[in-house]
Amino acid sequence: MDLSWLDAAIFAPLVGAVAVAIVPSRNLSTLRLVALASTIMTFLLSLGILVDFEAGTPGFQLTTSLSWIPEWGVGYKTGIDGVSLWMVLLTTFLMPLAVLASWSITRRAKAYFIFLLALQTGMTGVFSSLDMFLFYLFWEATLIPMYFLIGMWGYDRRIYAAMKFFLFTLVGSLLMLAGILFLYFAAGDNPTFEYQALLGTPLALDAQRLLFLAFFASFAVKVPLVPLHTWLPDAHTEAPTAGSVMLAAVLLKMGAYGLIRFAIPFFPDAARELVPLVMTLAIIGILYGALVALVQKDLKRLIAYSSVAHLGFIVLGMFVGTLQGMSGGILQMVNHGLSTGALFMLVGALYDRRHTRLIADYGGLARSVPIMAGVFLFVALSSLGLPALNGFVGEFLVLVGTFFGYRWWVIPAAFGIVLAAIYLLWAYQRVFHGEPATEANRAMADLNVRELVMLAPIVALIIFIGVYPKPFLDRIEPSAERLVQQLKQSSVVPGGGVAEGP
């Protein structure tokens, strides 16, 4: 059996979960260290993927193909291209930091770390699957651990938030399943779930429209796009810190990834026809998310709504039909994961000290926690797109790509950046400047060594991508160019025919 670094990175967290399960529950420090060691080992394995990946190649690399259920046309097939490469690495990079952010978890810690590691396998599997059946299994597998992470270790309204997250995502997933089954039976005499075999399935425009909408609805819920976003603020607000980090940094990107991995390549004519609709929803998300973030009183909820705005930017770039827009949207998936993940870590650090997320309960913190204040400002500037930081590169490419294809759409998108500067800097001013609201704010402890170790790698990457994004773009652009060509090429069956589905 010839398995790649990719397969090792997918299943290594499950091995770690088994190791955590063996450790006695009373040994809290050992549980933490085993979980941390497992995630660090997985990240080191994923570096092998980066080393073996050949820049400039648009196709899939590090592929593995094994027979699984041949009578159903199901196989274990994995591989990555320039799109999935960085999502896999983002997942493995952030998970050790999420474990470090979970040091305050003392209740049912063994189950907590098992669910966290299982979640990592599900997320990595989603970005690596080249079999539709396998993809769907990994996609659904992420729901269960996240449901329990929110429902068992969340805050006051955790059960409501967990159920809302689960039901929204599950309903969307069922629409995608119906679309997958249609493609499976439309494959001809030898039905298969293999991604590359199904990619050339001939479909009439009417069939493409219906299937595109089925896949789009599923992925739009996960992104989420307005008006399918209502589960996100509740899930973010009630989730534990590590849950919020992985939800914002990785799980939301599964929706955007699905759009460019499935919705555009499989149904390019429908995608091209519905570009105005998708772009309208993206622009609404950018403006709506920013305006609602502006009036939030809960700091964590403010960052949650900022995710709605930033994901709107990502989707906008993916559908404008230009290489700059597509490359910027894909890179922004990584950038948003870094900056928003760090913001949630900082809010978690504040909550651990004061047990409140209300902005009004803070004030004047820069005097007592100057290092935290500096890091928070730095990450906020990254999130709002300050030049020389990572957020600027992605947003600039999206705006340039949009200008080339849809000039007037740049205006509302750019206004969303202005709003981001307003709500982030205003929140920073209210939390860290002015007079302290209470004596507890004057005596607050600054970031400790664990928290500095947790945030330092993100800060370093924010600077590196902002100053020198070439290594990322070199690996993204070949796959992005292929996606742009797929969006432009017609695949309608001559004469309006369609391969029959079930």
**pLDDT per residue of the chain (502 residues) written in tens, 0 to 9:** 466 899 999 999 999 999 999 999 899 999 999 999 999 999 999 999 999 998 888 889 999 988 888 888 888 999 999 899 999 999 999 999 999 999 989 889 999 999 999 999 999 999 999 999 999 999 999 999 999 999 999 888 899 999 999 998 888 889 899 999 998 888 777 788 888 888 878 888 888 999 999 999 999 998 888 888 888 888 888 899 999 999 989 998 999 999 999 999 999 889 888 999 999 999 999 999 999 999 999 999 999 999 899 999 999 999 998 999 999 999 999 999 999 999 999 999 999 998 889 999 998 899 999 999 999 999 999 999 999 999 999 999 999 999 987 888 899 999 999 999 999 999 999 999 988 878 888 888 999 999 999 999 999 999 999 999 999 999 999 999 998 888 877 555 444 444 433 3
Asked if 261 and 278 sit in the same domain, the reply is no
108 three-class SS: coil
Q: Which of 242, 266, 290 is the last residue of a domain?
A: 266
Strand partners, 64: 78
- Asked whether residue 501 is assigned to any structural domain, the reply reads no
- Asked whether residue 396 is assigned to any structural domain, the reply reads yes
358 three-class SS: strand
8 Å CB contact between 361 and 354: yes
Cis peptide bond N-terminal to 224, omega within 30: yes
| Separation in Å, CA 47 to CA 9, 44, 77, 86, 140 | 9, 5, 20, 11, 26
Q: Which of 249, 266, 283 is the last residue of a domain?
A: 266
Asked if 228 and 306 sit in the same domain, the reply is no
Tokens of 374: 């500096």
Q: Which of 266, 285, 307 is the last residue of a domain?
A: 266
Asked if 220 and 310 sit in the same domain, the reply is no
In this prediction, residue 155 carries a pLDDT of: 86
In this prediction, residue 382 carries a pLDDT of: 94
Asked if 300 and 248 sit in the same domain, the reply is no
Cα Rg of the chain (Å, integer): 22
Asked if 154 and 65 sit in the same domain, the reply is yes
- Asked whether residue 452 is assigned to any structural domain, the reply reads yes
CB atoms within 10 A of CB 275: 16
489 three-class SS: coil
Asked if 255 and 288 sit in the same domain, the reply is no
pTM, to two decimals:
0.92
Within 13 Å of residue 263, how many CA atoms lie on the same side as its CB? 30
In this prediction, residue 502 carries a pLDDT of: 33
Asked if 313 and 180 sit in the same domain, the reply is no
Tokens of 41: 């080992």
Strand partners, 77: 65
Number of domains in the chain: 2
- Asked whether residue 225 is assigned to any structural domain, the reply reads yes
Asked if 216 and 77 sit in the same domain, the reply is yes
| Separation in Å, CA 276 to CA 103, 246, 407 | 46, 31, 13
Residue 302 structural domain: 274-494
- Asked whether residue 224 is assigned to any structural domain, the reply reads yes
Alpha carbon distance 322, 139 (integer Å): 29
Within 13 Å of residue 17, how many CA atoms lie on the same side as its CB? 18
Asked if 254 and 287 sit in the same domain, the reply is no
- Asked whether residue 499 is assigned to any structural domain, the reply reads no
- Asked whether residue 502 is assigned to any structural domain, the reply reads no
Asked if 7 and 118 sit in the same domain, the reply is yes
Asked if 373 and 238 sit in the same domain, the reply is no
Strand partners, 66: 76
- Asked whether residue 500 is assigned to any structural domain, the reply reads no
Asked if 248 and 292 sit in the same domain, the reply is no
